[in-house]
Amino acid sequence: MVSSMDELQERVRRQMYRFQDLADQMKAVRGRETSEDGAVTAEVDGNGALKDLQFSSAVSRMTPEEFERIVVRTAAAAARQAFERRAAVVRQFNEEMAG
């Protein structure tokens, strides 16, 4: 409970800033993964959208099926990493708001 209008305004202001911080942190979340052989590196944002995909010369020795498999596997691993980071940001936010 708040005891004054000033206290209420300050509380709301702090929460608004914290919401903005959350939005900024969510935008900054990235996951980056490189395949075991170093052939493919994928980077995704916090929503799992592919932002960067890099290939080494090792991809030239792959069959199309191997290439497809390694790209999908690497991008999926990057997305898992990003989702884990996003979940940690939300968990921290929820703990702060509850406390």
Structural domains present in the chain:
5-98 (3.30.1310.10)
pLDDT given at position 97:
86
Residue type for position 25: Q
Cα 65 from Cα 71, distance rounded (Å): 10
pLDDT given at position 8:
86
- Please check whether residue 29 is in contact with residue 44, taking contact to mean a CB–CB distance below 8 angstroms: no
Query: Can you give the pTM of this predicted structure?
Result: 0.83
Question: What contacts 22, CB < 8 A, 6 or more positions away?
Answer: 89, 90, 93
| pLDDT tens digits for range 39-97 | 999 999 999 999 999 999 999 999 999 999 999 999 999 999 999 999 999 999 999 88
pLDDT given at position 1:
59
Query: Residue 76, Cα to own-chain centre: how many angstroms?
Result: 13
pLDDT given at position 29:
97
DSSP notation for 33-84: EE-TTSSEEEEEETT--EEEEEE-GGGGGS-HHHHHHHHHHHHHHHHHHHHH
| pLDDT tens digits for range 20-34 | 999 999 999 999 999
pLDDT given at position 2:
64
